[in-house]
Structure 1
């Protein structure tokens, strides 16, 4: 009986290992303050991104992905799969009561890692004003390993960075460059996993201001970040370095022999900084981070998974940041019983071309109340053509990117009126209070 039990346990161990090996790895990369118009693939006339172009050539480019207009609202929505009116506490805060995609993928047998920008623990003033804890630490938010900027201490994110990691705590890296150190840590993590499926979330610090010299710049060795240089003319260099780091990740996945078992997703967290003006197909477009027009929410998105995603495919469907949690759970093979409530729609069938299960969203809803800066709360819904705000304003997104000319409902054609009526019904159903 004892030998039979040992044999059963041995077989169970082998089966468990095989199942673990079959689960695909997931890498989610999110650039900071990078709207769609900043990339060559979306029409930028100047910024060159050969590694992102490589992802597109071998993967899927999404044309209509929308974030929240600002970083914390986007991150909270992305990590939880819920609209902000359900769980947003304030700028720089992730509610410690929330279940994130880190927790959910841990439950599916994944080892989780996060590198890059945190900024979700709140600040010292917030913690003094509110009784109890108002923010989340990375290990409490579902991550086994991390190297991050701005967990509890700010410091520099670029040259001479002050970074926090699970293994060594807070460290100052004199003469080093933060974005490079994040990828160093990420590469070491991937090497250590063997056959264990992993999830890496990489919320980049690039391309957020301050706009400073990158390591390839002649000015980098002598640059002192304490001078607080913030020159938008350096933004293209930062885009180039961001692209270089993506190339490093692609190479490491290939070198480890896990390319065909690893989904890599690349997105931006919100629109580009307003100090950055891009030439896009000959037209000058100003970044609109923080604002609710198309240039504040329309972000790039690329999916790369050799052998799974049709090469060079283009996806014109609407994608919303609530869609990532259900998608990642589908990628992980989670059972229906293990899937929590989300506001999102899984786009996993769109990646794999499963025509029998290809639900797509008809609209994107946004409840935006960042409680930061001078940004006014706004609630709206849109598709690729029209946008309706809760106060009744209507805009034609194809003709009015900056939303300067609101329309009257009576001006719309039959299809336009039908669309707005549908939007009105959705807004009435959303109990944002």
Structure 2
């Protein structure tokens, strides 16, 4: 019975012909003429408690993000589909969880980052938007991290323009990854040594937005900042300290010298630099008179990592990135669309990153792929206040040995397959301090069943997909 209900919830995304059905009034979304511009911003490893709109105790100065939040909605129950960078980005871009798009692990090293990465058979956001009849221009500026082999690069996968790094935690000023210059414009390696990556990416986005707006072309921009992720040791030149790197101007709001050694103060400056960059992008929308006609969504790709929890914060959540504790997968998110998304509001309804794939299709009037399963569901009715109910009955998570499922107020979690399930009431205990499995074994059994059935459904789906590919050969 449970499987029937779950399959019934999944079926409409697989079988519905043409564009997804509009679930809100004609003044919203895909029926808008002209269609809205779309700006998707991600930040890298920002914890739930790092930003002041989510944690008033945060010492990080972010006036522009504070303003952004006051103009839109805070999403306090938003999840990333994976607690690691590569898999998180692939889930956003495909609308499919890592187990389904098969990019479930972090790409590392030159071999990983310059390999195929995400399968070429996957349809990603810009390819989806290109199905819109409205002639969207598309661009990506920032961290790619899902494969950079020929055929895998952004401008070969639907983006009209790309400026960014191919890999992950490159140095923010030299753009070096493992001894190699990692910065590209489209498919050409470029050298912008000394220019801070956050500013490079924001400036490129601003230039693209101005150019397309002046020509009255609707646009979708994917702006995945590579900060504040700490640079890897192998990406910093010999003899240079590997510290949190920020431009001099980002220390000024704190009254600090750029030479300050304290890692917490340096991290704060890195986030403030992001805030200032986002502020310039938002000011550009205002100056061009298109702020009211632009859907903006910002979230962190995953939670802060364990080595830095004395510097960063996932408060009040437990755990960190690369785990399925709430601190790894529940992330800060903000949405703004003036006149459509209520200003200075809070949305507690549960959504997750694959939903943006479906939401963008709705906004752009694009057709969803009909030949594959999409795990995301349309978030626009929730964001625009048409409903307070989540489009998801459950959320399924799996990362390496970790597993979790959220259903209603409850979450089951285990760190190893041989471990017993833990049970938490997220409404009453979002910090996951009290394991209820011993006192509610019936709840555990009830939630374990949809986890098992969902896992089995995914495996059967992948088997069918493989048979289909083999037949096509």
Band of TM-score, shorter chain: 0.7 to 0.9
How large is the Cα RMSD of the aligned pairs? 3.2
Q: 1:33 aligned to 2:45?
A: yes
1:317 maps to 349
Match of 1:150 among 166, 177, 198: 166
Cα distance in 2 for partners of 1:365, 1:116 equals 28
| Bigger proportion of residues as strand | 1
1:119 CA displacement: 1.6
Q: Call closer, same or farther: CA 1:279–1:73 in 2, change over 3 Å.
A: closer
Match of 1:428 among 445, 453, 458: 453
Do the aligned residues in 2 keep the contact of 1:148 with 1:165 (CA within 8 Å)?
yes
Q: Call closer, same or farther: CA 1:63–1:221 in 2, change over 3 Å.
A: closer
Cα distance in 2 for partners of 1:20, 1:279 equals 41
1:220 CA displacement: 8.6
Cα distance in 1 for partners of 2:355, 2:262 equals 34
**Aligned positions, number:** 384
**Correspondence list, 1:23-172, <5 A:** 23-45=35-57, 46-67=59-80, 68-89=82-103, 90-92=105-107, 93-108=117-132, 109-121=135-147, 136-150=152-166, 156-161=170-175, 162=181, 163-166=183-186, 169-172=188-191
2:462 maps to none
Do the aligned residues in 1 keep the contact of 2:317 with 2:430 (CA within 8 Å)?
no
TM-score, normalised via structure 2 length: 0.73
Q: 1:364 aligned to 2:395?
A: yes
Output one character per residue of 1:334-363: Cα deviation in whole Å (capped at 9) or x when no partner: 3578796311111111222334x9653233
**Correspondence list, 1:232-381, <5 A:** 232-274=264-306, 275-277=308-310, 288-335=320-367, 341-355=373-387, 360-369=391-400, 377-381=401-405
Output one character per residue of 1:140-159: Cα deviation in whole Å (capped at 9) or x when no partner: 222110101125xx894412
Runs of 5+ unmatched residues, structure 1: 1-18, 128-132, 224-228, 370-376
Q: Call closer, same or farther: CA 1:246–1:383 in 2, change over 3 Å.
A: farther
User: Which stretch of structure 1 is more off in the superposition, 214-223 or 157-166?
Assistant: 214-223
Output one character per residue of 1:94-122: Cα deviation in whole Å (capped at 9) or x when no partner: 22221001110012131110001012216
Output one character per residue of 1:390-432: Cα deviation in whole Å (capped at 9) or x when no partner: 75412325476675764335x13xxx94586145234323324
Runs of 5+ unmatched residues, structure 2: 1-30, 108-116, 176-180, 232-243, 460-473
Cα distance in 2 for partners of 1:148, 1:237 equals 21
Q: Call closer, same or farther: CA 1:309–1:173 in 2, change over 3 Å.
A: same
1:396 maps to 424
TM-score, normalised via structure 1 length: 0.79
Output one character per residue of 1:121-142: Cα deviation in whole Å (capped at 9) or x when no partner: 16xxxx8xxxxx7x82111222
2:8 maps to none
3-state DSSP class of the match of 2:246? coil
Output one character per residue of 1:357-388: Cα deviation in whole Å (capped at 9) or x when no partner: 9653233211223xxxxxxx222201464221
3-state DSSP class of the match of 1:344? coil
Cα distance in 2 for partners of 1:208, 1:384 equals 32
1:12 maps to none
Cα distance in 1 for partners of 2:144, 2:156 equals 12
Do the aligned residues in 2 keep the contact of 1:77 with 1:322 (CA within 8 Å)?
yes
Q: Call closer, same or farther: CA 1:298–1:139 in 2, change over 3 Å.
A: same
3-state DSSP class of the match of 1:22? coil
Q: 1:408 aligned to 2:437?
A: yes
Cα distance in 2 for partners of 1:317, 1:310 equals 14
Do the aligned residues in 1 keep the contact of 2:136 with 2:220 (CA within 8 Å)?
yes
Do the aligned residues in 1 keep the contact of 2:174 with 2:192 (CA within 8 Å)?
yes
Cα distance in 2 for partners of 1:222, 1:425 equals 53
3-state DSSP class of the match of 2:349? strand
